[in-house]
Structure 1
């Protein structure tokens, strides 16, 4: 963010949104989110420093950490393709990244006799099945209507999806205005939203798109996007400091921040008490 010239306040706001995200407790639990986010940031850091080989390699490691990691080398390859800068090295490094990911199916084939076991095990044991892209958000709404009550988790899923749509629209508008767009981050974001929203959970007392809050955590471009827009909102409020509604707007913003942080801390403390997080 500093390399892009973003202000210190934007950087602080971005990290604050990530730290106090309602599902950020997964970073302290026995899940892959924290390590995957580290690898993703490291890969994009190498990519930004024009160290393509290292970026593709780290992307391959991310794909071994979580299946959605395949979008990292794919994002790099797509950006080179869009910018018409593809060369032989991109094909070689992308192929090597693919071989790294392919090592896991080979391992499963040798040990379990089923190379695609990681795709099949979720259905019978966890009730997760493939579905049409983005339909889990629709299913959330339908489930709430059928239950006769609005579930907070469904509302939050919808908010996150709207943030994603806003990011897409903003990026496309930038491209139309001739502004440089980091296509690798765009492809990465789209892929990491598409995959979790292409499956549903069919279990009792669980909403179909359960898990979206967790999967959203590692999509760092969306947190930068949120940090920048929060900063712009604060700037607009300060510009209207002479307005009679200035104090009311300030109080609303701080109240929302207070509720946001309080809910996040409450969730972490409850889970810490139950031994779920470190």
Structure 2
């Protein structure tokens, strides 16, 4: 079944339509709905295309903030200090203490440090360059404008970006498929077990907003918008530069192999490549190390392996850092079987064992790989061109601490995986799948706010 090729270049007689991409028609919710050509269900003026994503975002926020507030104030915290400051971050005041403080853990402290002090390159801060600059810059500038703490600004940026990302995602999927798939995709993404990162002081929401915005603009043939937004994505996360691949697919579908027609839009296609260059220039000025974003990865215990070796390490373990072996461990399950009680599951020892088990990392990695393979038939080609490199590259650089570290979080920005979920899950099983996913979201949110490792 051919996807809608709508995506004309605006202006001039030389406008070209997007070539069709073959895909497999999946039954959706028992209705037989699949990709439908020639239909942009989420028109800009259609209120449902805005109201539904915002409603989904509101449900996500309600679940995450309710759990975060209760767990942060009544849970048993992991006795850990901020990895960025080597101290417990000072408390916030007022409403920020209720909303922001529970969701600024782990990497959030690094973004806070960069926003307040910049890239310094000294001591623990030498690892800062692993965190790309746009998000902490927004935190810094927003704090100067409003007088809020940088944590609060980052929290606001994440929430606004998440709402915007769901609206744009709804529209993009409605263009490529239909409104039913768009609805199911946004729900699956917003209530995924690790989706709390969208509400935390992390880059996930901003990156998703910029990636989806860039691809939607490219899909509609607005190449200078796509290139500019793609450049911002490439300054938010290192993987933003990988937008060059889906951009190339869409560009060739629209302009074909006719170089005379590539100018000037072909220049816009390459703009994401400037992201690393701008960051390198800034690092050269700040710490005289333009490639620090490469060398900083070693500080996070990453090493080089082939993907199959990484998967093996993710299962059986290859390292033992600080007496904490990587690989799947089931100590938490044995504790639960020995004493199946609320006291057990809320104890610090059980929660720590669950956090160190690597089960989440392995399950998410295998799930994402399976969905990506199915997506080769189910999705437009540019979706797969975005997903596969971003999913495979981390398998070449595992961590000694957790071989598959962060993949359950990285996958959140790979929205085509959630399109495949929306296409595959039958209507009769959707409530069960959604209930299980939401229950895990509750569990992992509670773990995160109490300083237990989650991806």
Matched, 1:116 2:324: no
Aligned to 1:193: 391
> How many angstroms does 1:95 deviate by?
4.1
- Between the aligned partners of 1:102 and 1:265, the Cα distance in structure 2 is 39
What 5-or-longer segments of structure 1 have no aligned partner?
172-180, 238-249
- Between the aligned partners of 1:36 and 1:160, the Cα distance in structure 2 is 19
> How many angstroms does 1:148 deviate by?
6.9
Larger relative contact order, structure 1 or 2 (CA cutoff 8 Å, min sep 6): 1
Distance 1:57 1:130, change over 3 A: farther
- Between the aligned partners of 1:110 and 1:96, the Cα distance in structure 2 is 22
Aligned to 2:189: 18
Aligned to 2:359: 152
Could you tell me the TM-score, scaled by structure 1's length? 0.76
Of stretches 76-85 and 152-161 in structure 1, the one that deviates more from structure 2 is 76-85
Contact kept in structure 2, 1:60 and 1:101, CA below 8 Å: no
> How many angstroms does 1:213 deviate by?
0.3
Deviations 1:207-255 (A, max 9, x none): 301211000000111111211112xx23xx6xxxxxxxxxxxx6xx644
Could you tell me the TM-score, scaled by structure 2's length? 0.49
Equivalent residue for 1:4, pick from 176, 179, 184: 176
Aligned to 2:323: none
Q: How does 1:116-195 map to 2 (within 5 A)?
A: 116-123=291-298, 125-133=299-307, 135-143=309-317, 149=330, 152-153=359-360, 154-168=362-376, 170-171=377-378, 182-195=380-393
Give the structure with the larger helix fraction.
1
SS at match of 2:268: helix
What 5-or-longer segments of structure 2 have no aligned partner?
1-172, 319-325, 331-356
Cα RMSD over matched residues? 2.9
The aligned length equals 244
Contact kept in structure 2, 1:75 and 1:188, CA below 8 Å: yes
Contact kept in structure 2, 1:134 and 1:194, CA below 8 Å: no
Deviations 1:1-25 (A, max 9, x none): 22334143x3332112111111111
Aligned to 2:279: 104
Of stretches 96-105 and 21-30 in structure 1, the one that deviates more from structure 2 is 96-105
User: In terms of Rg, which structure is larger?
Assistant: 2
